[in-house]
Amino acid sequence: MTPTWTDQAPIYQQLADRLAVQLLDGSPPEGEALPSVRALASQYVINPLTVTRALQALSEHGLIESRRGLGMYVMAGARERLLRYEREQFLQKDWPALRAKLKRLGLTAKDLNWEST
């Protein structure tokens, strides 16, 4: 299945976001290699230069590192750094908008089922 891309952000940023979600899920684990640029380009049906740019963005955030001749590896502590960043983003950006929508809809904590998937 070909991944879908939106016009909301550059494709490299969307790929970096997808890879960050995978890192949050522990895939690949810290210290392990990411798939090669060619493998990712084939998987996501995009130009290898776009993949390289996405990996560069993750590297600039201290999540992955290049090991000369070996590829890109997940850095130690990457998941925890990413988790802290994502939590902060959620609390500053997503939560206020979500809270306002819940209020507009008249929903309270009692109306929400935290256990359902």
Give how many domains the chain has, as a whole number: 1
Asked if residue 43 has pLDDT above 80, the reply is yes
The per-residue pLDDT for 44 is 96
Q: Give all strands (DSSP E) within 22-67, no chain letters.
A: 64-67
Tokens of 72: 């890109």
Residue 117 in domain: no
CATH number at residue 100: 1.10.10.10
Q: For residues 44-48, give the mean pLDDT.
A: 96
Residue 40 in domain: yes
Whether omega before 96 lies within 30 degrees of 0, making that bond cis, reads no
Asked if residue 99 has pLDDT above 90, the reply is yes
Distance, CA of 14 to CA of 56 (rounded, Å): 13
The pLDDT > 90 percentage for the chain reads 89
Report pLDDT digits (tens) over 9-23.
999 999 999 999 999
Residue 16 domain boundaries: 1-110
Asked if residue 116 has pLDDT above 70, the reply is no
Residue 42 in domain: yes
The per-residue pLDDT for 1 is 61
Distance, CA of 92 to CA of 48 (rounded, Å): 34
Tokens of 69: 């001749």
Residue 115 in domain: no
Q: Which residues contact 3 (CB under 8 A, 6 or more apart)?
A: 18, 44, 45
Tell me if 30 sits within 8 A of 74, measured CB to CB.
yes
Q: For residues 107-116, give the mean pLDDT.
A: 85
Residue 116 in domain: no
Residue 53 in domain: yes
Residue 33, SS3? Answer: strand
Least reliable range by pLDDT among 90-94, 99-103, 109-113: 109-113
Distance, CA of 10 to CA of 47 (rounded, Å): 13
The pLDDT > 70 percentage for the chain reads 97
- The alpha carbons of the chain give a radius of gyration, in whole angstroms, of 17
